[in-house]
Chain A
Amino acid sequence: MSKHLLEVKDLYVSFDTYAGEVQAVRGVDFTLDGGETLAIVGESGCGKSVTVQTIMKLNPEPPSRIKGGSILYRGEELINKTNREMQAYRGKEFSMIFQDSMTSLNPTMRVGRQISEAILKHRKMDRKEAKKLAVEMLAKVGLPNPDKCYRQYPHTLSGGMRQRVMIAMALSCEPAILLADEPTTALDVTTQAQILELMKEIKERTGTSIILITHNLGVVSRMADRIAIMYAGKIVERGLPDDIFYRPKHPYTWGLLGSMPDMSLRTDRKLTSIPGTPPDLFAPPEGCAFASRCPYCMHVCLKHEPPVFDMSEEHQSACWLIDSRAEMVVPPLGEDKTLRVKGRGGHVV
C-alpha cells in the first residue's frame, strides 16, 4: 500500500517517569526507501535514539508509551504489534547497531556465538552452518583471522573490531534496514573512517537501507542520501545533503553548521556554539522549541509552533522565518564570509 519501505507518520512517544511524563518524540515523520541512507542529526536528548528504537519497539512499554502515530514497514502497521510478534522482525527485517560496542556485547559470551545465535533464530540452519556463516560475515566486515575472531570475547577486541562485529551481527540475517545509532561516535577518527567506508561498501553491495543517527555532520556528509535534523523531539529541517549544507533554512541548522570546527580558520578562534540548552521535555514550550536559544526569535515563535514549509519536494523546514511575513534574514556567515563544509570545498551562499 505504502510505496516506501518504511514510513513513520506523526509519531508521538512519551516516557512515564516518577517525575511526570517526558515527551521524547513529538510528532515525527519521515520515510525510507530501499537502498537509501537517511541520516538523523541532532544533539543529545533530541529524541533521535528513541525514535529509531521505537521502530524496533526496543523501549520497554512501561515506562515508554507510544502516544500516537504509525510506523509502517512495507505497508504493515507495527505500532500495535506485541513483543513476541516483533521478534520476527528484529534482526531479520531490520537490525540495529549501537554506539558503545563494549557494553552492547555480552561480555561473557564469545562474539562468534553472539552472531550465530541471531542466525539460528531467524534462518533455518543447523549449528555448523550457522557458525560457517558467522565466520563469513566476520570476514566480510574486514576482520582478519575470522576463525580465531569467532572464539574471542568482546573485551579482547579493540573498539574498531568490536564495532565490526556488531555490524556483522546486524547484517548476518540480511535485513532490509540497518539502524545505526551513532556507530562511530566512540571510535577514533581513523577507525571512524574505516567503519564508515565499510558501511558504505556494504550498502552498495547488498542494497540495505540505512538510518544513520549521529550528531556529527561530517559523518553525515559522506554517507547520507537524505538528512533530517531533529530538535526537542521534532524534525525541524529535512532535505538532500546539498539543501542542508548549502541552503539551510533553520536557525538550528545554521547553529550546527557554524559550530563545526574548521581547520582552515585560525586556531586561536573560539568555537562557536549554540548558547543555551534544549528545553525541558517534561513541559515542552507551546511555541517553537528552539525559540529560547534562537537569535532570530520573534514574538510569534514563542506563542505558536511553526508549521512545516516546503522549499522543494525534498527540502522542508519548520521555522517562522520562512513565512513571507517575516523579515528577510541572512544566515550567519563564517569569519571569512563563507559557510564551509568539510571536504566539499567552499561555496559562498
Chain B
Amino acid sequence: MRRYIVRRFFISVVTVWTIATVCFFLLRLLPGNPFLSTTIMKQDMVDKMMRYYGLDKPLWQQYITYMGNLLRGDFGYSLKYAGRSVNYVIKSTFPTSAQLGMQALFFGIPTGTLLGIISAKRRGKELDYAFNALSVIGISVPSFIIAALLQYILGLKLGWFPVAQWKSFSHTILPTLTLSFGIIASHCRSMRTLMLEVDQQDYLKTARAKGLGETRIVFFHQIRNAIIPMITGLGTEIAGLLMGSYVVEKIFSIPGMGSYFVTSIQGLDYTMVLGLVVFQGTFVVFANFLVDILYVIVDPRIRIS
C-alpha cells in the first residue's frame, strides 16, 4: 500500500508537470499577444512591452525560467493587471470559491444521495416522479436562471436572504442553493440508478431471505454497495466545484476565482492562465489521487496487489 501511494504521488507530480508544459506551449500558439486590447498600440510599443515582460526571449528560455519559478511556487505576475501577482489572486479568491464549493457539496451530495435513495425505494410512485422531474430540471436549467429565481423569490420578495455579495453566512445561502441544485439533481439521478442496479443483485434476495428488515437492508446492503461507484467521479467533481463557478459568482457578486478563468484566456494573460491551469490541474490530479485511495479503503474488493 505504501509503495502504491508513493508511486501514485510521483505520477501525479509528473502529470502536473506535463499539464504545465503543454499549456505553456499551447498558449503561445494562440494568435495575438497579451497586450492587445481596445487601446490601440503601435507595433514598437508592443515590442517594448514584450521586452519588459521578458516575452521576447527565446521560448525555451522563458520556459526554463517559468519552471524554475514554478518549483518555488511562484506563478508570476499577471500581464493584464500589473502588480497583481497570480499567487495573490489565487490566495484572495480561492478560499471564497472553495468555501462556496464546499458548502454546495456538503449540502448537495448528501441531499442528492438521500433523494436518490428515496426515489429508488418509491419507484414508480408520485415521489419518484416528483424527484425525477426535479432532477431533470436541476440538470437542464442553467444556473443563472435558478440564481435569478432564487434571488427574486427568496431574496427580494420574501426578504429571507441577502441577494448578493459575500458578507456573512446568510449571504452564502442563495449561491450555495443555486450551485447545489445541479449537484442534487445529478446525484439524485445517479444514486437512484445505482440503487436500482443494486436492487437486481442477488445478495439483496439473500438478505431478505434472512428475514432482515427493509431499513437494515437498505442501509447496510444496498447503500453500501450503491455508493461505491459514486466515489469515482467525486474527485473531479470536488475539484471542479472548488474552482469557482463563473456564472454563479458573477450573478451574486462573489469575489471568487471563476471570472479569472474566463477573462484571463480572453485577454491572453499568459501568466494568469498558466497559473490557474496549473493550480486547478494540481487540484484535480491530487483530488483524484485521494479518491483512488479512498476507493481502496471503502471497497474491500479493491486491494493493491
The reply to whether A and B meet directly (CB within 8 Å) is yes
Interface residues of A (CB under 8 A from B): 53, 56, 58, 83, 86-92, 95-96, 98, 100, 103-109, 117-118, 121-122, 153, 155, 166, 169-170
Task: Say yes or no: is B221 at the interface (Cβ < 8 Å to chain A).
Answer: yes
From B208, B213, B221, A109 is in contact (CB under 8 Å) with: B221
**How far, in whole Å, are A93 and B144 apart by their CA atoms in the complex?**
59
B208 touches A122 (CB 8 A): no
A107 touches B211 (CB 8 A): no
On whether A153 and B301 interact (CB within 8 A), knowing A98-B206, A104-B205, A106-B221, the answer reads: yes
**How far, in whole Å, are A166 and B224 apart by their CA atoms in the complex?**
20
A106 touches B203 (CB 8 A): yes
- Expressed in whole angstroms, the minimum distance between the Cβ of B147 and any Cβ of chain A is 39
Task: Say yes or no: is B122 at the interface (Cβ < 8 Å to chain A).
Answer: no
B205 — nearest CB in chain A belongs to which residue? A58
A103 touches B214 (CB 8 A): no
From B211, B228, B299, A90 is in contact (CB under 8 Å) with: B211
- Contact residue range for chain B? 20 to 34
Task: Report whether over half of chain B's contact residues are helix, strand or loop; otherwise say mixed.
Answer: helix
On whether A108 and B225 interact (CB within 8 A), knowing A100-B202, A117-B216, A153-B301, the answer reads: yes
From A56, A107, A121, A153, B203 is in contact (CB under 8 Å) with: A107
20 contacts between A and B (CB under 8 A): A53-B205, A83-B214, A90-B209, A90-B210, A91-B209, A91-B210, A91-B212, A95-B209, A96-B209, A98-B202, A103-B201, A103-B203, A106-B207, A107-B301, A108-B225, A109-B221, A121-B210, A121-B212, A153-B300, A155-B301
Task: Say yes or no: is B220 at the interface (Cβ < 8 Å to chain A).
Answer: yes
Query: What B residues does A155 contact at CB under 8 A?
Result: 300-301
Query: What B residues does A106 contact at CB under 8 A?
Result: 203, 206-207, 220-221, 224-225
A62 — nearest CB in chain B belongs to which residue? B124
On whether A117 and B210 interact (CB within 8 A), knowing A104-B205, A109-B221, the answer reads: yes
**How far, in whole Å, are A95 and B299 apart by their CA atoms in the complex?**
28
A87 touches B213 (CB 8 A): yes
B212 touches A98 (CB 8 A): no
B203 touches A89 (CB 8 A): no
A105 touches B206 (CB 8 A): yes
From B210, B213, B225, A95 is in contact (CB under 8 Å) with: B210
**How far, in whole Å, are A104 and B206 apart by their CA atoms in the complex?**
6
**How far, in whole Å, are A83 and B213 apart by their CA atoms in the complex?**
9
B212 touches A87 (CB 8 A): yes
B211 touches A88 (CB 8 A): yes
B213 touches A121 (CB 8 A): yes
**How far, in whole Å, are A315 and B216 apart by their CA atoms in the complex?**
45
